[in-house]
Amino acid sequence: MVQSLTERAYVMASAKAKPLSLITGGAGFLGSHITDFLLAKGHAVIGMDNLITGNLANIAHLKGNPDYRFVHHDVTKYIDLPDPIDYIFHFASPASPIDYLELPIQTLKVGALGTHNALGLAKAKKARLLLASTSEVYGDPLVHPQTEDYWGNVNPIGPRGVYDEAKRFAESITMAYHRYHGVETRIVRIFNTYGPRMRPKDGRVVPAFITQALKNEPITVFGDGSQTRSFCYMSDLIEGIYALSQSDEVYPTNIGNPTEMSVLEFAETIRRRCNSSSEIIFKPLPVDDPKIRQPNITKARRVLKWEPKVTLDQGLESTIAYFRNLIDRGEL
């Protein structure tokens, strides 16, 4: 299933009249879901991933699909593809609290060199590039909820800064390629997203709380739990991203669910939904952890006619089932 980058790319028989999309980070949580969505929309797809945080299990169901192929490649190295690519969805990046500490250099390199290479490919192919940016560009915000015109409150030298600044640079170089080279670009600022295929041990509250609750282990809340998050189910997010990719909007657009809740409330919700006997314990808050996070999606509603539809209860049902299945199979 895995092909080297230098191997001659084959022309997919059923893809001749189809738009061809490249997904960097294509074996990751969001990359694999956008792949499924695009295939269902009639695209042919090339997935690209170095598998540093991606997982081939996320795309195993695509084996044998004539409209899909996987290329094992690190996008911080030059990207050489012979295909006439129409869209590039640049999702490659470590993107969890664990990664900030364990993969800081790789996180910075993929935000800088990886984005540069993806933009270079877009320029050469005359493709439209969508950059997967993040609400982390707002840092620990002093404006609430966060609108796209807010410049953020980021500590550039803190442990979280590697991800925040990588994405801020990625946005900047994306706009530079748009303005100077005329590359068609789109930028999505993704807020907290959850769903099946999340990495179980990536340090985020959704997989952490669910796995702890299902195992009846203590649910670990950092700080006093008063910090807030807004959780968007992955299918809503993917629909918003696709709508942005098809729009004429070149400036950053927030995509997320504006329903805000405290981390402690979320822990209690997970414990209840999992019928768990877990106790909730508290540990010190990590450095520069955002105290509030809530998207203002006025722009997405106006420009994209998009807003989230999946309720937290609905999204948690399938997400909890996914992690329960991993536990039942002995993978957790």
Reply yes or no on whether the pLDDT at 13 is more than 50. Answer: no
The half-sphere exposure of 241 on its side-chain side, counting CA atoms within 13 A, is 32
CA 305 vs CA 208, 240, 244: distances in Å? 33, 9, 10
163 is a catalytic site residue: yes
> In the structure, what pLDDT confidence band is assigned to residue 332 with cuts at 50, 70 and 90?
confident
Given the residues 163, 177, 233, 242, select the one marked as catalytic.
Answer: 163
Question: Higher pLDDT residue, 156 or 14?
Answer: 156
> In the structure, what pLDDT confidence band is assigned to residue 276 with cuts at 50, 70 and 90?
very high
Cα–Cα distance measured from residue 78 to residue 230, given in angstroms and rounded to the nearest whole number:
36
Phi, psi of 226 (to 5 degrees): -80, -15
Peptide bond into 145 cis (omega under 30): yes
- Give residue-wise pLDDT tens across range 252-275: 999 999 999 999 999 999 999 999
Q: Where are the domains of the chain?
A: 2-191+233-256+295-309
- Give residue-wise pLDDT tens across range 28-78: 999 999 999 999 999 999 999 999 999 999 999 999 999 999 999 999 999
Q: Tell me, what's the pLDDT at 100? A: 87
- Give residue-wise pLDDT tens across range 104-141: 999 999 999 999 999 999 999 999 999 999 999 999 99
Reply yes or no on whether the pLDDT at 5 is more than 60. Answer: no
Amino acid code (one letter) for 15: A
| Domain covering 2-191+233-256+295-309 assigned CATH 2.130.10.10 in the classification | no
Average pLDDT across the chain, whole number: 94
